[in-house]
């Protein structure tokens, strides 16, 4: 069927639904199995529902379902990717089709990085009025059926809920049932999808007129009260944030104040001035909804996209609370889910562009310290996949080392950790530097090794013990710690901790010789793994009952 398979290539594709009939007629079938996300939503700390401002990203690019619709990837040159997952809390895939089901590649990438994904249910113009009249004015049975189908879609394709966007006026009967529909949808999504969310877009008012308020007020509050959050329109002023803050009360963090990166209409700041808007929003303790950050790609062009993307998100980082990894194993090759070549064990196995967000790895923090340090994606060389992480910086005069914070962690440390690192030093004098890992712990007072100091930084800075060869029971898994090749260096480490809680994983770049000169370095990271030694020692569960289906030979 053309909905599920590309007519030219027969490849499976992601799809949307148009109109009420298609939504109500939808049933799961074997043809849509490729669209089911294979990656469960990774846990994070603090949990999404903690009381702190959140950041939602609403991805709206040229109508949606572009090259990202190809579930098994495509040979796209310079595609759009998003990888600053540590800095955001919710990802919405937006298009103007009635029912936007997020392409599964986005759900896989976001889930691997602990971010839930919402689809969009939208009605607009006169067709939207008719559609709303049909299901909202029709009473409980009619709107209950729509709520049920939307919840079933989220459950079937394993994404996390809906943004609801009614952008047309409503009759008295329809608007009277709207809060009931939102309550019904929210309840069904919560029961069908663990941690599910329904967010309402600021559009229709309680009397059925279409009028964007740019704030939470008594005209739209009954919709906010009926679901998990409100996403406001973009043309707000400071006094509206103040009123919103007062009215939201304890649900302050459930108001996502809209920021249009394209800066359409009368807005505080978009583009590289988006931070101006965020600064104000955070002053009032509100959450933010960043709309169309694809501006970086669409407006500034594809050529320097990765550089511009890091600049854009780097300019916002101080307003974006990050979330930490709280489960092991942690293993990543830093792949973005795209490349100009495909690498395996440091070797360029296949030249040519590719794009598949499902192959995106766990992403690190992207620290930027003006002039001192930058973390970026390197496509020309990698250990595995399409890219490595490039760290460039300078060690200041008189100092011996610089620490680059890669991951924030929040979990109890197992008694014994096993860590591996693959890296490549570049530049004119790579032999002038050494590279190692550092693990810091939260100051618990009982954590063994390291003594508490009065310094504000964490008391526990541990430098895992270098292992020249892997432990016997790990040798098979690691196919040798000597496996560096094609210029890559491989290192294995062990760390024993008692009653500690992990906090950060950093890379330390040190000079071999002390110097009063400033020294520049460049290092590619190909892979990092942090494993609980006990769970690695246990043999993996046997796999039973493997079935293959949907085979198509050409």
pLDDT at position 554 is 64
How remote is the C-alpha of 208 from its chain's centroid?
Answer: 35
Does the residue 113 lie in any domain? no
Does the residue 424 lie in any domain? yes
Tens of pLDDT, residue by residue over 281-325, are 999 999 999 999 999 999 999 999 999 999 999 999 999 999 999
- Specify the CATH number for the domain of residue 433: 2.60.120.260
- Closest Cα to residue 32, out of 548, 551, 546, 550? 550
pLDDT at position 471 is 66
Strands 401-412 and 330-332: unpaired
Phi, psi of 151 (to 5 degrees): -65, -40
Q: How many domains does the chain have?
A: 1
pLDDT at position 448 is 63
Across-strand partners of 530? 330, 419
Does the residue 275 lie in any domain? no
Tens of pLDDT, residue by residue over 482-531, are 566 889 998 989 999 888 899 999 999 999 888 888 899 999 999 999 99
pLDDT at position 359 is 97
Does the residue 410 lie in any domain? yes
pLDDT at position 77 is 95
- Closest Cα to residue 415, out of 505, 493, 495, 477? 495
Does the residue 382 lie in any domain? yes
Write out the residue range of the structural domain in which residue 351 sits.
330-537
Place of tokens 């949307």: 16
- Measure the CA–CA gap between 245 and 239, rounded to whole angstroms: 10
- Closest Cα to residue 186, out of 149, 227, 221, 214? 227
The pTM of this model reads: 0.94
- Measure the CA–CA gap between 346 and 383, rounded to whole angstroms: 4
pLDDT at position 458 is 46
- Closest Cα to residue 122, out of 181, 167, 79? 167
Using an 8 Å Cβ cutoff, are 163 and 92 in contact? yes
DSSP per residue, 480-533: -TT---TT-EEEEEEEE-SS-EEEEEEEEEEESS--SS-EEEEEEEEEEEEEEH
Strands 519-532 and 388-395: antiparallel
Three-state DSSP state, 301: coil
What are the tokens at 485?
């090749």
Does the residue 127 lie in any domain? no
Written as tens digits, the pLDDT of the chain (554 aa) is 889 999 998 899 999 999 999 999 999 998 999 999 999 999 999 999 999 999 999 999 999 999 999 999 999 999 999 999 999 999 999 999 999 999 999 999 999 999 999 999 999 999 999 999 999 998 899 999 999 999 999 999 999 999 999 999 999 999 999 999 999 999 999 999 999 999 999 999 999 999 999 999 999 999 999 999 999 999 999 999 999 999 999 999 999 999 999 999 889 999 999 999 999 999 999 999 999 999 999 999 999 999 999 999 999 999 999 999 999 999 999 999 999 999 999 999 999 999 999 999 999 999 887 778 999 999 999 999 999 999 999 999 888 999 999 999 999 999 999 999 999 999 878 888 999 999 999 876 667 653 333 233 345 778 888 877 666 666 666 654 556 688 999 898 999 988 889 999 999 999 988 888 889 999 999 999 999 988 877 777 889 999 887 777 76
Phi, psi of 153 (to 5 degrees): -60, -45
- Measure the CA–CA gap between 459 and 121, rounded to whole angstroms: 49
- Measure the CA–CA gap between 57 and 50, rounded to whole angstroms: 18
Place of tokens 């600053």: 84
Which helix (H) or strand (E) segment holds residue 190: the answer is: helix 172-192
Residue 450: CB atoms within 10 A of its CB come to 16
Does the residue 135 lie in any domain? no
- Closest Cα to residue 324, out of 386, 423, 251, 412? 412
- Measure the CA–CA gap between 352 and 163, rounded to whole angstroms: 37
Separation in Å, CA 3 to CA 12, 198, 259: 9, 26, 33
Separation in Å, CA 450 to CA 410, 460, 510, 533: 19, 5, 21, 22
Residue 181 contacts by C-beta under 8 Å, 6 or more apart in sequence? 135, 136, 143, 146, 147
- Cα dihedral 39, 40, 42, 48, rounded to 10, equals 130
Residue 148 contacts by C-beta under 8 Å, 6 or more apart in sequence? 188
Residue 380 contacts by C-beta under 8 Å, 6 or more apart in sequence? 340
Using an 8 Å Cβ cutoff, are 106 and 117 in contact? yes
Does the residue 457 lie in any domain? yes
């Amino acid at each position: 069927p053309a909905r599920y398979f590309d007519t030219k290539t027969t490849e499976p594709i992601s799809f949307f639904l148009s109109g009420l009939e298609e939504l109500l007629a939808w049933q799961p079938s074997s043809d849509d199995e490729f669209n089911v996300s294979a990656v469960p939503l990774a846990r994070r700390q603090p949990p999404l529902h903690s009381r702190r401002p959140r950041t939602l990203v609403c991805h709206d690019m040229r109508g949606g379902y572009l090259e990202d619709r190809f579930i098994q990837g495509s040979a796209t040159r310079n595609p759009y990717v998003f990888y600053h997952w540590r800095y955001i809390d919710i990802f919405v895939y937006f298009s103007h089709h009635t029912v936007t089901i997020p392409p599964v590649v986005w759900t896989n990438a976001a889930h691997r990085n602990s971010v839930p994904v919402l689809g969009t249910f939208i009605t607009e113009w006169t067709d939207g009025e008719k559609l709303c009249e049909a299901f909202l004015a029709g009473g409980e049975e009619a709107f209950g059926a729509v709520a049920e189908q939307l919840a079933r879609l989220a459950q079937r394709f394993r994404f996390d809920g809906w943004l609801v966007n009614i952008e047309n006026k409503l009759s008295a009967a329809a608007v009277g049932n709207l809060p009931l529909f939102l309550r019904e949808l929210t309840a069904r999504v919560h029961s069908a999808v663990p941690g599910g969310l329904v967010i309402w877009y600021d559009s229709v008012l309680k009397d059925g007129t279409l009028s964007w308020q740019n704030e939470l007020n008594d005209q739209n509050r009954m919709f906010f009260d009926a679901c998990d959050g409100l996403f406001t329109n973009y043309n707000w002023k400071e006094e509206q944030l103040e009123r919103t803050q007062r009215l939201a009360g304890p649900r302050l963090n459930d108001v996502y104040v809209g920021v249009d990166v394209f800066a359409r209409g009368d807005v505080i700041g978009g583009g590289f001035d988006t931070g101006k808007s965020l600064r104000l929003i955070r002053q009032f303790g509100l959450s933010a909804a960043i709309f169309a950050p694809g501006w970086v790609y669409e407006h500034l062009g594809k050529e320097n996209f990765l550089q511009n993307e890091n600049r854009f998100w780097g300019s916002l980082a101080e307003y974006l609370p990050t979330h930490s990894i709280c489960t092991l194993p942690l293993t990543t090759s830093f792949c973005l889910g795209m490349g100009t070549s495909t690498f395996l064990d440091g070797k360029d196995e296949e030249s040519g562009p590719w794009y598949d967000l499902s192959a995106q790895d766990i992403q690190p923090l992207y620290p930027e310290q003006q002039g001192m340090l930058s973390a970026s994606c390197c496509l020309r060389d990698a250990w595995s996949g399409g890219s490595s992480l490039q760290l460039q910086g300078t060690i200041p005069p008189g100092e011996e080392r610089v620490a680059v914070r890669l991951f924030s962690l929040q979990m109890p440390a197992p008694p014994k950790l096993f860590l591996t690192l693959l890296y490549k030093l570049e530049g004119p004098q790579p032999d002038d530097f050494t590279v190692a890992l550092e693990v810091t712990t939260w100051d618990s007072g009982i954590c063994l090794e390291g003594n508490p100091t009065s310094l504000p930084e964490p008391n526990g800075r541990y430098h895992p013990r270098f292992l020249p060869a892997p432990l016997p029971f790990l040798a098979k898994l690691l196919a040798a710690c000597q496996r560096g090749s094609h210029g890559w260096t491989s290192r294995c480490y062990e760390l024993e901790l008692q009653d500690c809680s992990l906090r950060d994983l950093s890379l330390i770049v040190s000079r071999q010789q002390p110097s009063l000169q400033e020294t520049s370095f460049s290092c590619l990271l190909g892979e990092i793994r942090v494993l609980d030694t006990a769970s690695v020692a246990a043999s993996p569960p046997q796999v039973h009952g493997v079935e293959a289906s949907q085979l198509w030979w050409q």
